[in-house]
Chains A and B, each alone.
Chain A
Amino acid sequence: MAEIPRYARQTILPEVGREGQARLAEATVAVMGCGALGSVAATILARSGVGHLRLIDRDVVELHNLQRQVLYNEDDAARGVPKAAAAAERLQAVNGSIEVLPFVADVDHRNIEDLLVGCDVVVDAVDNFESRYLLNDAAVKHGIPWVYGGVIGVGGVSMPILPGDGPCFRCLFPSDPGPGAVETCDTAGILSTIVHIVSAFQATEALKLAMGRRDEVRRELLEIDAWSGESVLLRIHRREDCPVCVGRRFEHLEGERGSSATHMCGRDAVQIRPKTPAKLDLPDLAERLKAVGSVNCHPMLVRLEVEGYQLSIFADGRAIVHGAGDETVARAIYARYVGL
């Protein structure tokens, strides 16, 4: 008896068909961030038969990731393997007919264009706004569609961004909330189910784009609450004064915005400094951080001890991460607990 073809249940769908499946096999999709959202999206895309997957992440697997980051296991956490490498290995085993390339990289304005060159679509699964503004700059500059996804607590959002055709991310949020202004999953918590919900919506739009079904892409922002089951679609308009998609000024890509990380000579510490000084509410930040570690709030700074690191966080957003000998690690810790 002849074996049922691998994608039979998908190709019989009128939304996909044989032609859509063939387009998927030719497509290149980058998943930027291989944490919670990235694990789910990459799994869906690999199993659906996206021919070329790029998995990009700077982090290593830790035990507290396993609650929601479905590609990893206890052995990965014990060995502290890079997420991009573990994810690629696992997904290559799931689908040997596609190409899965890992990029263990801290994405910044110097490398993002190389990482995304030739992509048909990018799935945003990063954990901070700085990286999203950078992705938006690169995507608009090169005309690459991408799908925003964000989750916190029991809720989340997703929205496809089609450069040159509707609003970009800077139209949605014209101003960077700045360091320490928004909660992170590490300080506010995250329910694993909202990760799957938002990521599944992101992957759906990414599949449409990879199949060339741009006309069928959802244009609204979807806001959804996993706990209540409520959702709403919000219409976002292009801003006539948008510096990115209208003005084509790419401040993040030029390295004029964002933050810098500098290893402090002779010390096991890295300084993170936002290029635009923030105005942190230190008592509020201290209150949030009490959920994750030992916190001391002084008039000039908040000191946090967590995961064996000591962070000294100042009101202008500058922080010194003690115990992080590596700039990439320090940036990841900062994004995780202070937020970028």
Chain B
Amino acid sequence: MAVEIRIPAALRRFTGGARRVEVAAGTLAEVLAGVFGQHPDLRGRMLTAEGGLRADARVFIAGDEPEQGLATAVGDGAEVTILPPIAGA
């Protein structure tokens, strides 16, 4: 299923400036694997060494928190948003 991922401005240095990434995936884990396949530098910013989601990296499906973590199903056409911690003032 086609899923679009919004890359916020703070993370675009890891995606070569790309604002959106499209992948074919059924779960959130597959979505992220697809994104990291296209932009490997983003992996370390999002995942722990063990492969789990870092506590300071948030991911949302259609504007809400995934109920079952990385195993959450992502519907066709859904928008996934990545949110890093933003410190600047």
Chain A residues within 8 Å of B, Cβ to Cβ: 33, 35-38, 125-129, 132, 149-157, 172-177, 181-185, 188, 190, 194, 220-221, 223, 225, 227-228, 230, 232-237, 281, 339-340
Instruction: Determine which of B12, B60, B86, B89 lies in contact with A35 in the assembled complex, contact meaning CB atoms within 8 Å.
Output: B89
Tell me whether B89 and A177 are in contact (CB under 8 A). no
Tell me whether B65 and A223 are in contact (CB under 8 A). no
Given known contacts A235-B65, A236-B65, is B58 in contact with A151 (CB within 8 Å)? no
Interface centre among A35, A37, A152, A183 (most CB of B within 10 A): A152
Interface residues on chain B, number (Cβ under 8 Å): 25
Closest B residue by C-beta to A129: B87
Task: With both chains docked as a complex, state the minimum distance between the C-beta of A44 and any C-beta of chain B, in angstroms.
Answer: 15
Closest A residue by C-beta to B41: A284
Task: With both chains docked as a complex, state the minimum distance between the C-beta of B29 and any C-beta of chain A, in angstroms.
Answer: 20
Task: With both chains docked as a complex, state the minimum distance between the C-beta of B55 and any C-beta of chain A, in angstroms.
Answer: 3
Tell me whether A38 and B10 are in contact (CB under 8 A). no
Between A and B, 13 residue pairs with Cβ closer than 8 Å are A151-B86, A155-B8, A155-B10, A155-B86, A175-B56, A183-B87, A188-B10, A188-B13, A223-B8, A232-B6, A234-B58, A281-B44, A339-B87
Instruction: Determine which of A36, A126, A153, A177 lies in contact with B12 in the assembled complex, contact meaning CB atoms within 8 Å.
Output: A153
Task: With both chains docked as a complex, state the minimum distance between the C-beta of B21 and any C-beta of chain A, in angstroms.
Answer: 14
A-facing mask of B35-71, CB < 8 A → 1, else 0? Answer: 0000000001000000000111010100111000000
Interface centre among A128, A228, A234, A237 (most CB of B within 10 A): A234
A-chain residues with CB within 8 Å of residue B12 when the two chains form the complex: 153
Give CA–CA (A131, B75) in the complex, Å: 38
Tell me whether A176 and B56 are in contact (CB under 8 A). yes
Tell me whether A149 and B63 are in contact (CB under 8 A). no
Closest B residue by C-beta to A151: B88
Given known contacts A155-B8, A227-B9, A228-B19, is B81 in contact with A234 (CB within 8 Å)? yes
Tell me whether B85 and A129 are in contact (CB under 8 A). yes
Tell me whether A150 and B58 are in contact (CB under 8 A). no
Tell me whether B58 and A172 are in contact (CB under 8 A). yes
Instruction: Determine which of B60, B79, B81, B85 lies in contact with A177 in the assembled complex, contact meaning CB atoms within 8 Å.
Output: B85
Give CA–CA (A188, B87) in the complex, Å: 11
Tell me whether A153 and B56 are in contact (CB under 8 A). no
